[in-house]
């Protein structure tokens, strides 16, 4: 019983995103069913004219699905891309010679800008580019830190989730070697 409760507790933070994905899936399914029902019997001019008359309803359903996708993307940007702004600024201060920090900041800015894209084809392209860039920068960050523990600490730090207890001797040594100790302050929570 305790194991089941522990598992449920660990899944609780994922609930809002799961509900958003479900809502988006339901919206897309409604659009697909409606379109399929319209096109199923489209074998003559009369039926095609009926589809044209029903188009505003279909357009509204597609618009609703697009809105749901944009809301899901807004959540993704807040959780997964905005932390690149602060992490990029930090890495730019740690290593002035590297462009990694500046490129991370640009990724965060570009992700924020993507929230204003209104054309579906443009939106799709922008998201694909951001996802590819993020993956590449994550890989470069891992190479830059050369230590999974440091990498995880910096990621937690960027998301404002790093705690003093997570600063291990290896992390402290890495920060010291990169003259980064003075870039941090310790403050109580609250």
**What is the rounded CA–CA span in Å between residue 121 and residue 85?**
26
Model pLDDT, residue 25: 66
Residue 68 has a pLDDT of 82
At residue 83, the pLDDT reads 92
Residue spans of the chain under pLDDT 50 = 1, 5, 8, 12
Q: What is the spatial distance between Cα 88 and Cα 93, in angstroms, rounded to a whole number?
A: 9
Given this model, what pLDDT does residue 77 score? 93
Instruction: Tell the burial category of 135 from Cβ atoms under 10 Å away from its Cβ (0-12, 13-18, 19+).
Output: exposed
Whole-number pLDDT of residue 167: 93
Rounded CA separation 42/37 (Å): 9
* pTM above threshold 0.85: no
pLDDT at 92: 92
Q: Which pLDDT score is estimated for 65?
A: 77
The two tokens of residue 61 are: 């359903």
Task: Name the 3-class secondary structure at 46.
Answer: helix
């Amino acid at each position: 019983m305790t194991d089941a409760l522990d598992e449920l507790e660990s899944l609780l933070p994922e609930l809002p995103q799961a509900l958003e994905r479900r809502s988006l899936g339901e919206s897309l399914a409604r659009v697909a069913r409606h379109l399929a029902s319209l096109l199923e019997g489209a074998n003559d001019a009369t039926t095609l004219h009926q589809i044209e008359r029903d188009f505003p309803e279909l357009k509204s359903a597609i618009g609703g699905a697009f809105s749901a996708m944009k809301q899901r993307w807004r959540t993704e940007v807040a959780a997964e891309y905005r932390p690149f702004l602060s992490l990029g600024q930090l890495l730019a201060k740690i290593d002035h010679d590297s462009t990694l920090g500046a490129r991370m900041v640009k990724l965060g800015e570009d992700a924020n800008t993507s929230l204003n894209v209104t054309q579906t084809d443009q939106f799709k392209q922008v998201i694909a580019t951001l996802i590819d860039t993020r993956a590449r920068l994550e890989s470069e960050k891992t190479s830059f830190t050369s230590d999974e523990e440091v990498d995880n600490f910096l990621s937690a730090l960027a998301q404002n989730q790093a705690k003093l207890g997570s600063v291990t001797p290896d992390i402290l040594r890495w920060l010291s070697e990169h003259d980064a100790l003075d870039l941090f302050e310790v403050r109580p929570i609250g």
